[in-house]
Amino acid sequence: MRARGFGERVHRPATGWALAFLCVAAGCSGAGRLALTSDDNNPAAIARALSSQEQRLATRPGKGIANSSGRPVAFLVAQGSPRNLIAWDLSEGKALWTVAADVTSRVVVGSSFAAYREGKANIVAREVGNGKVRWSHALGARTTFLGLAADGDHAFYVVQEDGARRAWHLVALKDGKEAWRQDAPGTLGTPTASGGLVFVPFMTQWLTIFDAETGAQVARIRQDDEAVTYVRATSDGVFYGSRGIFLLDENSAAGKKTGATYGMAKFPEFVRPSYHFDAFKSVQAEYSAYDRNRVLWRAAKQDGRLVFRDNTAVVFTYRFFFGFDAETGELKWAHDHPRFDVVSAEHVGPSVLYVSQEGEIGALDPVNGSRLFETKVGSRILGATFDADGFRPAGASEPTSTRAALESIVWNKDARFGSQKLFAVTILGGMPGNEVASALIRIIGDENLPAPVVQKAGDLLVARKDEGALPLLVDALTVKHDYITGSRPRGVDVIARAIAGIGKPEAVPVLVAVLEAPETDPVHLKDVVQALAACKGSDAVSALSKFLLMYRADPTFASDPAPLSGAVDALLAGGREAERELVAYVEGDPRTQPKLAEYARRALAERKNNGQPGER
């Protein structure tokens, strides 16, 4: 006999008629208690549960859409006093209805109603078709609301009882009345419901599955090597996990990632993947900042393993969408939503739906990021729930440019997006073409951008060694100093290093002009000298000789003679006697700054010994 778990009541078996009598006496409401011991990880029980779910879903008009009309609807919570709840028909592009409602939770959708917490004390359900109140249910006092779900004609919610001794309750409602409840000795998370089943995380270790009609526990999974902090149901299946994604199937009985149908997408460093809302955090029971920074995905089982739809995982972060190859982490596409934050977004299969704080509803193609449509609601939006699984707008998509989107992200003036900008410039720098080189040149000259972004753009520009971009680099150095207009060449040191990497004599005239310009910052002269040395030619040698002679005694270079030392190296590297004699003259001139004279002395000595210039 199985040992009783903590909190289980001792009882005698009741006959069928006795159970029915008790049910009637209690108003068809039943109560149970979750235990710390149970029939966990039973593959047969899991298979039976999933089979019953599949059969029930098969009878619905739209397998993935919860409302019985099968119509794709977005439920939008609009700002105001009071707030408004808007049901927006996505296929028709218009509002079905708008009502005043103090919505303080996510909206969930059943077959004929949409439910939400109103204020702090009630759960309210409204007719999907017209927005009229269908029923209202009072929440208990001294409770913390953790979340709400709906399926068919039932709604389900979890609360934490904040009395002298905490307790957690999963409550099922039908027509606003309590149908059954399950009490728990430890933390319960926000439920998810689909196909006549209710899925509830329990103490971050278990995923418990209940029959939606009776409240009977039908299966339970104990996960040993990853916490269970979310459950998500789509037409592709039921998924759970925390750091990664488990598909609920018979393999879940393994209780470990090994053996289960499990996967994770690969992302670059700036992404901290959040695959779904944390079921144990009460703040995430409402629309909040957590809605604006997460991974949008669809997955399924293929050849015995979990795969992402179109091999793509979409990272959504405030205004930006990035489509990544789920296996390699390489960027496939990027989309920048201009000006306003996107407050809610969801991957519904063939499209990614979103709504901005200014009421712009739109859709993107998850394969390539192209925009499928966008329209305006006419209200400022706080959050949204999309009951639109499988929806894709009709019509052709609007092509998108990943390069243009990345540039737009870099120049976004919002200071919140430092890591996104750094990622965008990194990817941008790896793209070919003069448009990219031009963008990098602009970035290194923008003093308003974060320093790490400017530094990264400079490093990438230098590393490109792109001969085709040489005219752009030369043009960037031809900008004249004008103290009236404020114009001046920007990023001189970085551009000089980029020219040095190319090493073509066509750049010598502009480098000479920069070297001789009195306005050039001395800290940039070292790179200009090295660029001239790399470009070679008689004009470069002449300019370097003139520069060394003119500034050998200048106190500006007393503490750091690196620009002049670079000229010494360049002149000696040519191997000509005339340049050697010039360096010898500088070394012996008593007016030469001591550090420079010492450097020239060592350089000449090393050249005499092995023909190599001295090291700085």
Task: Give 216-227 as a DSSP string.
Answer: -EEEEEE-SSS-
> Alpha-carbon torsion 226, 228, 231, 235, what sign?
positive
Q: What is the DSSP letter of 139?
A: P
Distance separating alpha carbons of residues 458 and 525, to the nearest angstrom: 17
* pLDDT at 481 (0 to 100): 79
* pLDDT at 611 (0 to 100): 53
Instruction: Read off the amino acid at residue 178.
Output: E
- Please count the helices (runs of H) and the strands (runs of E) in the chain: 14, 31
DSSP output for 149-187: EEETTEEEEEEEE-SSS-EEEEEEEETTEEEEEEEESS-
- The answer to whether 314 and 302 have CB atoms below 8 angstroms apart is no
* pLDDT at 563 (0 to 100): 96
Give 544-579 pLDDT, tens digit per residue: 999 999 999 999 999 999 999 999 999 999 889 999
Instruction: Read off the amino acid at residue 177.
Output: K
- Is 434 contained in some domain? yes
Rounded CA Rg of the chain:
34
- Is 266 contained in some domain? no
Instruction: Give SS3 for 331.
Output: strand
* pLDDT at 30 (0 to 100): 59
- Is 300 contained in some domain? no
* pLDDT at 457 (0 to 100): 97
State in Å, rounded, how far the first CA of the chain is from the last one.
Answer: 83
Closest to 122 in 3D by CA, of 157, 97, 166:
157
* pLDDT at 429 (0 to 100): 96
CA angle centred on 64, ends 60 and 65, rounded to 5°: 75
Domain ranges, residue 437: 401-464
Residues 6 or more apart whose CB falls under 8 angstroms from that of 441 comprise: 461, 472, 473, 476, 491, 495
Closest to 347 in 3D by CA, of 283, 275, 395, 281:
275
Beta bridge mates, 267: none
Distance separating alpha carbons of residues 189 and 59, to the nearest angstrom: 29
- Is 313 contained in some domain? no
- β-strands 73-78, 84-89 pairing: antiparallel
- The answer to whether 111 and 127 have CB atoms below 8 angstroms apart is no
Buried/exposed code over 431-457 (b: 16+ C-beta within 10 A; e: otherwise)? beeeebbebbbbbbbeeebbeebbebb
Question: What's the token pair of residue 106?
Answer: 């996510």
Residues 6 or more apart whose CB falls under 8 angstroms from that of 542 comprise: none
* pLDDT at 614 (0 to 100): 41
- Taking 50 as the pLDDT cut, the residues of the chain under it are 1-29, 613-616
* pLDDT at 20 (0 to 100): 35
DSSP output for 12-46: ----HHHHHHHHHHTTS-EEEE--SS--TT-HHHH
- Is 445 contained in some domain? yes
Distance separating alpha carbons of residues 417 and 427, to the nearest angstrom: 16
* pLDDT at 333 (0 to 100): 97
Question: What's the token pair of residue 325?
Answer: 């190859």
- Is 413 contained in some domain? yes
* pLDDT at 398 (0 to 100): 84
- The answer to whether 29 and 179 have CB atoms below 8 angstroms apart is yes
* pLDDT at 13 (0 to 100): 34
Closest to 245 in 3D by CA, of 257, 266, 227, 263:
263
Closest to 616 in 3D by CA, of 554, 570, 548, 582:
570
Distance separating alpha carbons of residues 48 and 558, to the nearest angstrom: 84
Closest to 234 in 3D by CA, of 193, 266, 175, 268:
193
- Is 429 contained in some domain? yes
Give 41-67 pLDDT, tens digit per residue: 999 999 999 999 999 888 877 678 999
Tally of structural domains, the chain: 1
Q: Percentage of the chain surpassing pLDDT 90?
A: 83
Residue entry with tokens 């708008």: 98
Residue entry with tokens 């017209």: 130
* pLDDT at 11 (0 to 100): 33
Residue entry with tokens 């150095």: 477
- The answer to whether 543 and 510 have CB atoms below 8 angstroms apart is no
* pLDDT at 266 (0 to 100): 97
- Is 421 contained in some domain? yes
* pLDDT at 141 (0 to 100): 85
Phi, psi at 456, each rounded to 5°: -65, -40
Helix (H) / strand (E) element for 523: namely helix 522-535
DSSP output for 282-306: GGGGS--GGGGEEEE--EEEETTEE
Closest to 144 in 3D by CA, of 173, 172, 166:
166
Give 123-174 pLDDT, tens digit per residue: 999 999 999 999 999 998 889 999 999 999 999 999 999 887 889 999 999 9
Q: What is the DSSP letter of 507?
A: G
Cis peptide before 82 (omega within 30 of 0): yes
* pLDDT at 62 (0 to 100): 67
